[in-house]
Homo-oligomer: A and B are copies of this chain.
């Protein structure tokens, strides 16, 4: 039976939460610098400055570390997103802030972002992660509903599409050695507003 994904033991003292954090930081660092190939429990433990044994105290296996990393990232990103989506001002301004946040977040560790995205599709994601994912999508849909002429029913679909589009463009730019943030932002906004302005094409028979 493959090891489970949920944490093995909950840290009770302060030092152990520090250990868990160190492990996640170490994992993130290794993924960013050496990719999935370099990601193994021994390397993560060394990088985190703890022993493998400690790692296995809190995580039943390496996939559990990955799942925890995904969860943490989803949490962080949702939090940033919620700040950016504050309900004041024009909906276009909110969308721009959202793009800003996404660009900053994903371009900060482009390789890591890419890997987490990939792994998220493979791992059965825990409730908290999928909840965060849903919340983010609803948040975007809410903004889209503030657009004049928006069809409320179609906003969920549009939100999902916009998320995927933005991720893809940022991700591609992140593979460049010297990403052009301003140009990237311009292109993401162009794609987003273009998608929204475009009346859905007529279905062919």
Contacts and interface: CB of A to CB of B under 8 A. Distances in A.
Contacts of A121: 114, 175
Interface stretch (A72-80, A81-89, A185-193): A185-193
One complex includes copies of this chain to the number of 2
Contact of A168 (B114, B157, B164, B197): B164
Considering residues A167, A182, A194, which has the most beta carbons from chain B within 10 angstroms of its beta carbon?
Answer: A194
B182 A203 contact: yes
A127 interface: no
B194 A198 contact: yes
Given A121-B114, A164-B172, A172-B164, A191 B182 contact: no
Contact of A198 (B35, B36, B169, B193): B193
A100 to B, nearest CB: 10
A200 to B, nearest CB: 5
A161 interface: yes
Contacts of A195: 190-191, 194-195
Interface string A91-121: 0000000000000000000000010001001
Interface residues on A, range: 20 to 34
Contact of A196 (B35, B160, B161, B194): B194
A156 B198 CA distance: 22
Contact of A165 (B122, B189, B191): B191
Interface of A: 35-37, 114, 118, 121-122, 157, 160-161, 164-165, 167-169, 171-172, 175, 182, 186-187, 189-191, 193-198, 200-201, 203
28 contacts: A35-B122, A36-B36, A36-B122, A114-B118, A121-B175, A157-B187, A161-B169, A161-B191, A164-B169, A164-B171, A165-B169, A165-B191, A167-B168, A168-B168, A182-B203, A186-B201, A187-B200, A189-B201, A190-B198, A190-B200, A190-B201, A191-B191, A191-B195, A194-B195, A194-B196, A194-B197, A194-B198, A197-B198
